[in-house]
A and B are shown apart, each in its own frame.
Chain A
């Protein structure tokens, strides 16, 4: 009985309550919108409820694990996931043109999803390991640690997940102290490059132009972004319809379960990648800004946890995971609003799918663990 009481107390103390409150509000909103997106009650909705429940337990379990133990797991976890990724390359299951799944006999897993946690964990561990003796060569090693899984995931192909892995890895390196002298030129180069693409748009999107690095469908998506109206029934359809939906929402929205774009099936993938369009159509600008404010609060809380963290591992990992969440949000909503090309990135707490939700819950569990195990560390 004593043990049980101790465990309950420990479980209670492991939770970062402000963060949990925010996550619960977001989850509730996510379920409400899912209910509308599926057009009433349906098995998908019931499924999603189960996913949330499961995610809550996973988060709690991870939150109760001290960060020192998480740090010890970093290297083996990264190596196992990397091995699984290579396994996908050879023995993966293909569906809809992409090879992402690995069937281990008793369970089907998506290693690329696990890499979203594995890569930043590994890097945070590495920089803690090399503490205060960080030279240029360390950044090169760090880059390799990220680029190998990145390349494997791009090859599946799954650009969205690859970008998230890359983003998370980049933020660890950035927080570890990558010189601004190196970052600024890259940013400038990126801005210049993007402007050039925009400027030469007409030439680049001609069918004969061969893009060296990217698949045809990726080229299509980027060209669509540059001018969605050019191909409204084909590739531009997704973006056009979601923009119409968001715009039709106006200030206060068309009302719950009353968005014509969503309910008459014009929004593509409305329960998954494009669910933000359903939300913005039915709840309008007020709803959308409220949601963004909630996300901002989560990011703020995550960065505060990073600032207060005792160990270097904790600081780097908390910072990177928080910024990874930001990348999720920005890429997804940017895509729905026609700001970014269509890449398969789900909207946290809203998009249908258990796997992505479990990854998120592990990430937030780690954040809570870092947040609540500060004092015990000394």
Chain B
């Protein structure tokens, strides 16, 4: 054991020498650095301080004006307003407390503002402007400007602040801008846009403010300026002008939007109205709404808590994020499927005893009404569930899925708004993927039964229903729904229309569509929606719906005993005029019960407002009592 030990010791002592060499080398190098520091910081200190003090050019970004957002008639939905801010550059102020106390004689400063200012002061560079007060009015700004010479280092700055003059109206589609977050910064960095956002502290967060952020924001310019050692500007050396953001023209009609929102009368729900001839969204309602102006300067905690914790979910964009079973409003499409897939002819008579038996399971009509012998037309007009239940043995779920997918059910519409949900259009394949447990993965025919009346796993956005309704109105042409109409250059006045995906024509037999449409017209004359459309001056094709949220389990539904939030949703879909449609819409009122009673009257008001020729007539027609013929 002696030899290896001695060899080990020898190698150890060799290693020790090398560690010493390395250590000494490191210390030598660090000494060189200390010597160099001495040269720079002691010997050459005076000269270099002078160099630092004469460093005089600084680059400042020039923020572009954000584009306005207007409706199809030029009504302003979002604009910029000049807002005055009082800022302080700490390094330029000699005695801060004296300045602040003198300043309170000139402008109003609350204790809260002073405290906030002092807190910010500790966290910022001595050369950065720190905000003392926001939102000075014109009088205060003018008053300060006349006294400004007394307050060196206190600067009045005008800045553009986003303003949404319509408030809650259009809140969900216009969206809002707010402070740039860390997340936004990461995204900007990935897009190589950080430079373009220098000097900007807000960014589009929701709605078209987000989807068209790039266009609305514009290009940031820059200016190199000569500054004194303390950062005060002397003169401009070189300027690179910013280019303002583009204005955005939406497809929305503000007047129609207002009428639609008011028609909800404080109830929760959603409405989407589309011009079937081009896919333009005419009205886009999500109730309740919120005031987007709250978000512009960063929302305060209390307002945020109220909005975020409200049981009514005012922040949720219902037509896009809300996926619902659409109930009987699905039936026109199912009827068309039966005709197109040649599963049942329109004339075939089915006997409706008020229920349909599949194996041991009995499926009842709502209210257990007995309709007797009915054909397809009659089944749609009275909304017989049994007629559609009985298609379950004829149309396999996958065939139904493929037919409905053409209309865009269960798929993104690719509308130019963010955060759209796809919903669910069930099929065997979908069920296999959606469920984890093997025994849940197979499809049962009973599930087809409920799918055929728009219940079961079906879950669509209201936008999808409106789009599908527009396809029916169009005799089978699908046009991409969109909310932006054109981009306008405010300086040159040049207008560039927004391009959308080319229309897609579904191969449908016009005779079949006519069967369904005629039945839908009769729905509004003699059927479930006849009260809402009493005395209407043009033909309306429509269908009511009532979507069940509450599973009855054999019990009888009684709207009075069921918890309000679990009551049925009230729906209506339709288009007008029936022969030459100018508008197609879908409307849903949450927990409002029967479709004919609540949703259809809202649709009536919107149709009247859009289809009838002049505004004076509509003013009369908007009243519950009927107007005279124009």
A residues within 8 Å of B by Cβ?
A: 36, 39-41, 43, 46-47, 132, 171, 174-175, 177, 241, 243-251, 257-258, 260-261, 263-266, 280, 284-285, 288-289, 292, 295-296, 299-300, 303, 306-307, 312, 315, 319, 323, 326, 329-330, 333-334, 337-339
B613 to chain A, nearest CB (A): 56
B residues within 8 Å of A by Cβ?
A: 7, 11, 14-16, 18-19, 22-23, 26-27, 29-30, 32-34, 36-38, 40-42, 44-45, 47-49, 51-53, 55, 58-59, 91, 123-128, 182, 185, 227, 229, 231
Q: A40-B124, A244-B51, A334-B33 are in contact. Are A303 and B22 (CB under 8 A)?
A: yes
User: Which A residues are in CB contact (< 8 Å) with B126?
Assistant: 257-258, 263
User: Which A residues are in CB contact (< 8 Å) with B124?
Assistant: 39-40, 257
How far, in whole Å, are A306 and B12 apart by their CA atoms in the complex?
11
- Checking A36, A241, A248, A288 against B45 with a beta-carbon cut-off of 8 angstroms, the contacting residue is A248
User: Which A residues are in CB contact (< 8 Å) with B229?
Assistant: 260
- Checking A36, A245, A246, A260 against B37 with a beta-carbon cut-off of 8 angstroms, the contacting residue is A246
How far, in whole Å, are A334 and B40 apart by their CA atoms in the complex?
13
Sample of 11 more A-B contacts, CB < 8 Å, known A46-B182, A247-B40: A241-B55, A244-B52, A248-B52, A263-B125, A263-B126, A264-B55, A264-B127, A264-B227, A285-B41, A299-B23, A330-B26
How far, in whole Å, are A248 and B44 apart by their CA atoms in the complex?
9
How far, in whole Å, are A40 and B119 apart by their CA atoms in the complex?
12
Are A280 and B41 in contact (CB-based, < 8 A)? Answer: yes
Q: A43-B182, A263-B127, A285-B41 are in contact. Are A339 and B49 (CB under 8 A)?
A: no
6 A/B residue pairs, CB under 8 Å, sorted by A: A244-B48, A246-B41, A246-B48, A296-B26, A312-B11, A319-B18
- Checking A47, A175, A295 against B15 with a beta-carbon cut-off of 8 angstroms, the contacting residue is A175
How far, in whole Å, are A86 and B543 apart by their CA atoms in the complex?
64
How far, in whole Å, are A248 and B40 apart by their CA atoms in the complex?
8
Chain A residues touching B, majority SS:
helix
Are A337 and B125 in contact (CB-based, < 8 A)? Answer: no
User: Which A residues are in CB contact (< 8 Å) with B27?
Assistant: 296
A56 to chain B, nearest CB (A): 22
The closest CB in chain B to the CB of A261 belongs to: B52
How far, in whole Å, are A244 and B15 apart by their CA atoms in the complex?
42
The closest CB in chain B to the CB of A41 belongs to: B123
User: Which B residues are in CB contact (< 8 Å) with A250?
Assistant: 41-42, 45, 49
Are A285 and B127 in contact (CB-based, < 8 A)? Answer: no
User: Which B residues are in CB contact (< 8 Å) with A292?
Assistant: 30, 33-34
The closest CB in chain A to the CB of B122 belongs to: A40
Listed from nearest, the 10 A-B pairs whose CB atoms lie closest are: A247-B48, A248-B52, A40-B124, A43-B182, A39-B125, A247-B40, A263-B127, A263-B125, A285-B41, A326-B26
Chain B residues touching A, majority SS:
helix
Are A244 and B55 in contact (CB-based, < 8 A)? Answer: yes
Are A337 and B36 in contact (CB-based, < 8 A)? Answer: yes
User: Which A residues are in CB contact (< 8 Å) with B125?
Assistant: 36, 39-40, 257, 263
User: Which A residues are in CB contact (< 8 Å) with B42?
Assistant: 250-251, 285
- Checking B29, B44, B185 against A326 with a beta-carbon cut-off of 8 angstroms, the contacting residue is B29
User: Which B residues are in CB contact (< 8 Å) with A285?
Assistant: 37-38, 41-42
User: Which B residues are in CB contact (< 8 Å) with A245?
Assistant: 52
Are B19 and A306 in contact (CB-based, < 8 A)? Answer: yes
- Checking B7, B23, B127, B128 against A303 with a beta-carbon cut-off of 8 angstroms, the contacting residue is B23
The closest CB in chain B to the CB of A309 belongs to: B15
User: Which A residues are in CB contact (< 8 Å) with B40?
Assistant: 243, 246-247, 337
User: Which B residues are in CB contact (< 8 Å) with A261?
Assistant: 52, 55
Are A40 and B123 in contact (CB-based, < 8 A)? Answer: yes
User: Which A residues are in CB contact (< 8 Å) with B38?
Assistant: 285
User: Which A residues are in CB contact (< 8 Å) with B32?
Assistant: 339
B409 to chain A, nearest CB (A): 32
Are A175 and B22 in contact (CB-based, < 8 A)? Answer: yes
User: Which B residues are in CB contact (< 8 Å) with A319?
Assistant: 18-19, 22
User: Which A residues are in CB contact (< 8 Å) with B11?
Assistant: 132, 177, 312
B16 to chain A, nearest CB (A): 6
Are B33 and A339 in contact (CB-based, < 8 A)? Answer: yes
The closest CB in chain A to the CB of B51 belongs to: A244
How far, in whole Å, are A295 and B29 apart by their CA atoms in the complex?
12
The closest CB in chain B to the CB of A95 belongs to: B192
Are A284 and B52 in contact (CB-based, < 8 A)? Answer: no
User: Which B residues are in CB contact (< 8 Å) with A244?
Assistant: 48, 51-52, 55
User: Which B residues are in CB contact (< 8 Å) with A248?
Assistant: 45, 48-49, 51-52
- Checking A266, A307, A312 against B55 with a beta-carbon cut-off of 8 angstroms, the contacting residue is A266
User: Which B residues are in CB contact (< 8 Å) with A246?
Assistant: 37, 40-41, 48
Q: A266-B55, A337-B33 are in contact. Are A177 and B14 (CB under 8 A)?
A: yes
The closest CB in chain B to the CB of A286 belongs to: B41
How far, in whole Å, are A94 and B115 apart by their CA atoms in the complex?
47
How far, in whole Å, are A36 and B126 apart by their CA atoms in the complex?
10
B29 to chain A, nearest CB (A): 5
Are A307 and B37 in contact (CB-based, < 8 A)? Answer: no
User: Which A residues are in CB contact (< 8 Å) with B182?
Assistant: 43, 46-47
The closest CB in chain A to the CB of B45 belongs to: A250
The closest CB in chain B to the CB of A241 belongs to: B55
Are A260 and B53 in contact (CB-based, < 8 A)? Answer: yes
A167 to chain B, nearest CB (A): 11
Are B52 and A260 in contact (CB-based, < 8 A)? Answer: yes
How far, in whole Å, are A245 and B48 apart by their CA atoms in the complex?
8
How far, in whole Å, are A46 and B125 apart by their CA atoms in the complex?
17
User: Which A residues are in CB contact (< 8 Å) with B36?
Assistant: 334, 337-339
Are A247 and B22 in contact (CB-based, < 8 A)? Answer: no
User: Which B residues are in CB contact (< 8 Å) with A40?
Assistant: 123-125, 128
Q: A43-B185, A175-B18, A303-B22 are in contact. Are A251 and B33 (CB under 8 A)?
A: no
B201 to chain A, nearest CB (A): 12
A294 to chain B, nearest CB (A): 11
A372 to chain B, nearest CB (A): 19
How far, in whole Å, are A40 and B131 apart by their CA atoms in the complex?
14
Are A330 and B18 in contact (CB-based, < 8 A)? Answer: no
User: Which A residues are in CB contact (< 8 Å) with B33?
Assistant: 292, 330, 333-334, 337, 339
Are B58 and A264 in contact (CB-based, < 8 A)? Answer: yes
User: Which B residues are in CB contact (< 8 Å) with A329?
Assistant: 30
User: Which A residues are in CB contact (< 8 Å) with B14?
Assistant: 177
Are A247 and B45 in contact (CB-based, < 8 A)? Answer: yes
Are A307 and B127 in contact (CB-based, < 8 A)? Answer: no
How far, in whole Å, are A303 and B125 apart by their CA atoms in the complex?
40
User: Which A residues are in CB contact (< 8 Å) with B23?
Assistant: 299-300, 303
Are A260 and B127 in contact (CB-based, < 8 A)? Answer: yes
The closest CB in chain A to the CB of B190 belongs to: A95
User: Which A residues are in CB contact (< 8 Å) with B22?
Assistant: 171, 174-175, 303, 319, 323
User: Which B residues are in CB contact (< 8 Å) with A249?
Assistant: 41
How far, in whole Å, are A47 and B36 apart by their CA atoms in the complex?
33
Are A307 and B16 in contact (CB-based, < 8 A)? Answer: yes
The closest CB in chain B to the CB of A45 belongs to: B123
The closest CB in chain A to the CB of B15 belongs to: A315
User: Which B residues are in CB contact (< 8 Å) with A296?
Assistant: 26-27, 30
How far, in whole Å, are A171 and B51 apart by their CA atoms in the complex?
41
The closest CB in chain B to the CB of A325 belongs to: B26
How far, in whole Å, are A245 and B41 apart by their CA atoms in the complex?
9
How far, in whole Å, are A180 and B426 apart by their CA atoms in the complex?
77
How far, in whole Å, are A263 and B58 apart by their CA atoms in the complex?
11
How far, in whole Å, are A312 and B11 apart by their CA atoms in the complex?
9
Q: A299-B23, A339-B32, A339-B33 are in contact. Are A251 and B127 (CB under 8 A)?
A: no
Are B37 and A330 in contact (CB-based, < 8 A)? Answer: no
How far, in whole Å, are A171 and B127 apart by their CA atoms in the complex?
45
User: Which B residues are in CB contact (< 8 Å) with A288?
Assistant: 37, 41
How far, in whole Å, are A300 and B19 apart by their CA atoms in the complex?
10
Are A177 and B30 in contact (CB-based, < 8 A)? Answer: no
User: Which A residues are in CB contact (< 8 Å) with B51?
Assistant: 244, 247-248
Are A247 and B55 in contact (CB-based, < 8 A)? Answer: no
Q: A245-B52, A258-B126 are in contact. Are A284 and B41 (CB under 8 A)?
A: yes
Q: A40-B123, A43-B182, A250-B49 are in contact. Are A177 and B58 (CB under 8 A)?
A: no
How far, in whole Å, are A171 and B19 apart by their CA atoms in the complex?
10
A345 to chain B, nearest CB (A): 14
